[in-house]
Structure 1
Amino acid sequence: MTEGNFVDYVKLHLTSGNGGKGSVHLHREKYITKGGPDGGDGGRGGHIILRGNSNMWTLHHLKFKRHLRAEHGGHGSKSRSTGADGEDIYVDVPLGTVIRDTETQNVIHEITVNGQEYIAAEGGMGGRGNWHFKSPTNQTPRYAQPGIEGQEHNITLELKILADVGLVGFPNAGKSTLLSVITSAKPKIADYEFTTLKPNLGIVEYRDFQTFVMADIPGIIEGAAEGKGIGHRFLRHIERNSTLLFLVPADAPDIKKQYEILLDELKRYNPDLLDKERLLVVSKCDMLDEELQEELKAELDEQLNISYLFISSVAQQGLQELKDKLWQMLNT
């Protein structure tokens, strides 16, 4: 999936179908000139239904289709014939999609299970025909109910990626390079900050044909929790990852400080994120000789109370150990 095809935020205007009118009709046939009322009911208007689809990873199919309108219900007719129901519109969305009211920004619903359905705009009920209103004192009612109008809603769909491992780090920490090396994903890679502007997903192949999903989250900057830049749009993707991999380059001025800043941003955005499994990975370690690596390990042992690994994506160092560690964390 290319970065341009990954869409994680769309606004939709939904209009469900109106219910059909009930019929005003009096039964007439040969030798029966004054039959009773037999007007049928109107049909229900079409719903607009959001449905979870585990084969989808993006909202790209909705990027250029912002207005959805369902069919109206058919009108009732003679012989108590009910009008046809308006056809429902089904909109498939990826798992992890959050539905918000565009005006209030309140969360209405979340879709997390394959096949899960949610009626986002309910079609109007059809009106009742005049045969419902006959009585001993009103044997030929010449009125029926009109159909109820459909609903009109503005909703916002936000995708929170469902991945096993989420890569967390500052811009240009080497997240995209790591993803490209241990998966078949082809993220954009360049030697400048904010190369990645949208999340990338890749499937990591492990031993015995087993796999897990890794997500490359765009680089976090200090102040992202307060919405600096487009921090909230980055951070929300981390909420659904079961394990967080903190990536800090070996040439960082202070590895401990960078890790603590990243951790603090997550805490301020959502304290529940600190309950997830965490692993610190020092990338670009091919720039360090063995002596420097040993010194750095001694410092980290004193300063941090977290598991850590040294890797180099370019030199293919420590990658199998990283896969083993992640698999162990995901399956404990």
Structure 2
Amino acid sequence: MVASSNGPETPMIWGGVPVPARDRTLRALCSSTARSPPMATKVQQSSRQASSRQTPKTSSLRQPSELRTAGKSTVLILVGGSHQAQRLLREPKPGVLADVGGRPFLSFLLEQVEAAGYRKVVLCTGYRSADVLREYGDSFGSLSLRYSEEELPQGTGGALRWAAQFAESERVLAMKGDSFCDVDLRAFESWAEAQGSDAALVAFGMDKAKNQAVLDLADDRVVGVRASGSSPGFSWVNAGIYSLRCEFLRSLPLCGPFSLEHDIFERQLLGRVAAYRHCGRFLDLGKQDSLASIERFLEQEF
């Protein structure tokens, strides 16, 4: 947005952060907010009964010490589906419904969330959203499920921004639905809240990161992101699990698709996103892990 052709350019603010004048792509996206209608998304609260496949097994995950405060945060899970995850399937359905030991992959994530003591989940659906709704209905174990459905792809940022209006907590725990990390979710969120940051992520430590964006960390902050490729040594990568302050998330524009990771974290909040370091196990449907290796690990863990 420009004040006049002769005067200085009016500062543009996105999420409380000035947008650099040189970042033309992001400025154009922000400017479109005034012209574009709200994203084509709808929310569903299903009255259907969950299918027999949704009944969770008894989880072997330990209950974290922070369980006494659990249940206060709303969990947002991105289940819109990715082309990388869908390539593993032999039939057209969301990657989160990939069969792992006779159960959908998403069920393991929901069990992890339930074991950590959370109770309210919003599933951010997109591709073949009716399949997810049909599979889970309005509950999973003790979890209450709600659906924020994209009629058009909105990216990670757009999907979470829209779903944030249904959060009933000061912070939300956001997760990508096509990966699994054995991090203690409550410990991570408690740490993130203590940091006082608008945004925090789980940084997963791994050897020989392949086709992964590598994070540069300093003082528990993300200070750089290196392009995807092969890193020969030990590296930190984004595990796709975030703790976000709702006020910050709701300040982002409803202006169409954008990436939380690239458009916000890398371009606007570099040096301000808190990083919770974790070394354990990380599985990704869309990258190096096969369904067979995922199945072996999850059957041992749950």
Q: Highest Rg: 1 or 2?
A: 1
Which structure has the highest strand share of the two?
2
Which structure has the highest helix share of the two?
2
